[in-house]
């Protein structure tokens, strides 16, 4: 079973020594100034969405049966009220693999969002300067309707709001490679996340991987 699992890690400068305790195949995409050994270096743009879409585009035809997408330090987003550890993460991964779950977010919480990604903390005074898009809303409906041949719902439930999740290769390929190439272009067009495009994708992962092929557009190559 372990041979069917691959971890895709979006690292900045985090200590990722924990990955060796899991004993799964993994790849590290590094955006920090001090890359780890054997990591793939990427420009520091587009948050983890840029990393994830880069991997999917590069590996589309040879994705692992189970792909686990992780940030460099995932533990404050998993477990009971964010008190997760390596064992918590391993339990999540093995549960998905054992039950054949096509997609699962690992965050301990979920979000209910409106068209502008509210509620969010991008207006809080104490967060000023932490993000280029501070003070702005999140273009959730805009990105949703660019990606899909569907109208944005009245309210969207984000079940993988922290960008930590597992998805099967087969489920990823329910959308064409051109879909992910287009999504990558959207992220690259907002490299500093000044418009909060990356924040929008944090709330869209379960919809990207929901397997609803009726949502696929037929013109991604032209966009």
Q: For residues 130 and 194, is the Cβ–Cβ distance under 8 A?
A: no
Res 216: pLDDT? 98
Q: For residues 184 and 57, is the Cβ–Cβ distance under 8 A?
A: yes
Q: How far is CA 158 from the centre of its chain?
A: 12
Q: How far apart are the first and last CA of the chain?
A: 39
Res 2: pLDDT? 80
The domain limits of the chain are: 2-222
Res 33: pLDDT? 75
Query: Which tokens sit at 148?
Result: 């899909």
pLDDT digits (tens, 9 = 90+) for 96-114: 999 999 999 999 999 999 9
pLDDT at 167 over 90: yes
Instruction: Give the pLDDT mean for 143-149.
Output: 98
- Mean confidence (pLDDT) of the chain: 95
Instruction: Give the pLDDT mean for 60-73.
Output: 97
Instruction: Give the pLDDT mean for 21-40.
Output: 91
Res 89: pLDDT? 96
List all residues 6 or more positions away from 48 whose beta carbon is below 8 Å from its beta carbon: 10, 69, 71, 163, 198, 202
| Cα–Cα distance measured from residue 89 to residue 196, given in angstroms and rounded to the nearest whole number | 28
Of 82 and 200, the one with more pLDDT: 200
Instruction: Give the pLDDT mean for 7-14.
Output: 96
- Where residue 36 falls among pLDDT bands split at 50, 70, 90? confident
Res 1: pLDDT? 62
What percent of the chain shows pLDDT beyond 90?
Answer: 90
pLDDT digits (tens, 9 = 90+) for 185-209: 999 999 999 999 999 999 999 999 9
pLDDT digits (tens, 9 = 90+) for 170-190: 999 999 999 999 999 999 999
| Cα–Cα distance measured from residue 160 to residue 170, given in angstroms and rounded to the nearest whole number | 19
pLDDT at 35 over 80: no
| Cα–Cα distance measured from residue 60 to residue 11, given in angstroms and rounded to the nearest whole number | 21
Query: Which tokens sit at 155?
Result: 């309210």
Query: Which tokens sit at 130?
Result: 């932490």
Q: Are strands 156-158 and 25-30 parallel, antiparallel or unpaired?
A: unpaired
Under DSSP, the state recorded for 44 is: S
Res 188: pLDDT? 98
Q: For residues 157 and 111, is the Cβ–Cβ distance under 8 A?
A: yes
Instruction: Give the pLDDT mean for 140-169.
Output: 96
Res 52: pLDDT? 98
């Amino acid at each position: 079973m372990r041979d069917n699992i691959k971890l895709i890690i979006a690292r900045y400068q985090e200590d990722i020594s924990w990955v060796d305790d899991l004993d799964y195949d993994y790849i590290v995409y590094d955006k920090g100034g001090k890359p780890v050994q054997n990591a793939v270096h990427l420009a520091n743009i587009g948050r983890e969405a840029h990393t994830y879409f880069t991997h999917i585009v590069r590996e589309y035809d040879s994705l692992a049966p189970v792909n686990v997408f992780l940030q460099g330090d995932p533990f404050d987003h998993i477990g009971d009220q964010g008190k997760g550890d390596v064992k918590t993460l391993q339990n999540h991964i093995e549960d998905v693999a054992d039950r054949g779950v096509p997609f699962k977010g690992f965050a301990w919480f979920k979000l209910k969002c409106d068209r502008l990604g509210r509620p969010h903390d991008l207006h809080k005074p104490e967060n000023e300067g932490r993000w280029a898009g501070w003070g702005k809303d999140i273009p959730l409906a805009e990105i949703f309707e660019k990606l899909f041949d569907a109208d944005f719902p009245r309210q969207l439930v984000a079940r993988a709001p922290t960008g930590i999740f597992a998805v099967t290769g087969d489920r990823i390929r329910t959308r064409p490679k051109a879909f992910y190439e287009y999504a990558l272009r959207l992220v690259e067009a907002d490299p500093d996340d000044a418009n909060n495009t990356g924040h929008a994708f944090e709330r869209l992962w379960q919809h990207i991987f929901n397997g609803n092929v009726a949502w696929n557009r037929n013109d991604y190559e032209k966009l």
